Amino acid sequence: MDPATTAEDFFTDIFKRYLANWNVIISLRQVASVALPLAHSELASLHKEQMAAIAEHPMAQRLIVEKDGAHSPLSPELQRIISQGATDTALMNADAAIDAASLVFGHSIIDDCALAYCRVCALAKPEDWGPIFEKRTVTFQTLMSKSKDEIRMDMIEARLKELERGPLLAKIKTLLSLCKPARDYSPVGGYTFDEKRIEEIDTKRHRIIHENTFGRALTGVEQDLEYLQQTVHFMLALINHHYGVRISEYRLRMSALRNNAG
């Protein structure tokens, strides 16, 4: 990061990146909600044609037999059942894949925001990280060659790298330890930070990626996405409340002008 970057600059850039990325998820789900119902008739026609072509293929003529071994062509009824099943399966798979992709993308976006917000805290007031490093030690050579501020920033960078590889919950807990909100702090209406809820969403994401459940139907994805989005707003408000860091309208406007010019 450019050393001249201020906490407000970085805070604004994170917000801009979050909005752009989250809009991708919204677009994906909106298009799917409109397109999937319309796709049924087109897919049904396609699968019907494919099934008819298979029925006429010489290999199908040879392979399909009755119980007594006599040749049995694919009947129109059997073709209808198979093609209808193919259509239903295609739509279910697409719906499941969109939910799975939305959850994985959404979790990734929130994880990126949480880590970036930790860096905002470091830019705003690096001395707040002191208690986190209370039990850390440095070599005598480092102590003699670097200032206290340089040593602290090195430790912060090392911790940020650790957090980057760690779970979302560890990043959020770091923010909470830095910002120290009151027990009743509730800047987002109807939202309560819940460690267990974050862990449950993370478990869903882990299973999608690592347990080959990409095509399996998920439940509560819309609610999970809403909770993740509210978590971003909670973290954003938390930093604004504790450090007074705000989003720069000028920086957003200039960024929009550059994008439009491009």
212, part of any domain: yes
Average pLDDT (28-34) is: 95
* 169 within 8 A of 199, measured Cβ to Cβ: yes
Nearest Cα residue to 12 out of 251, 242, 234, 175: 251
Domain tally for the chain?
1
Q: How sure is the predictor about 11, in pLDDT bands with cuts at 50, 70 and 90?
A: very high
15, part of any domain: yes
Nearest Cα residue to 175 out of 103, 243, 109: 243
140, part of any domain: no
Q: How sure is the predictor about 65, in pLDDT bands with cuts at 50, 70 and 90?
A: low
231, part of any domain: yes
Structural domain boundaries, residue 215: 7-125+168-252
pLDDT at position 67, please?
A: 63
Share of the chain above pLDDT 90, in %: 61
Average pLDDT (110-134) is: 92
Q: Does position 204 have pLDDT exceeding 80, yes or no?
A: yes
Residue 167, phi-psi category: left (phi > 0), alpha (psi -120 to 50), beta (remainder): beta
76, part of any domain: yes
Rounded Cα distance between 76 and 97, Å, is 31
260, part of any domain: no
| φ/ψ (deg, to 5) at 66 | -80, 180
* 198 within 8 A of 107, measured Cβ to Cβ: no
Q: How sure is the predictor about 154, in pLDDT bands with cuts at 50, 70 and 90?
A: confident
240, part of any domain: yes
261, part of any domain: no
- Name which of 44-53, 61-70, 239-248 the model is least confident about: 61-70
pTM here is: 0.84
Q: Which residue in this structure is represented by tokens 């590889």?
A: 165
* 131 within 8 A of 159, measured Cβ to Cβ: no
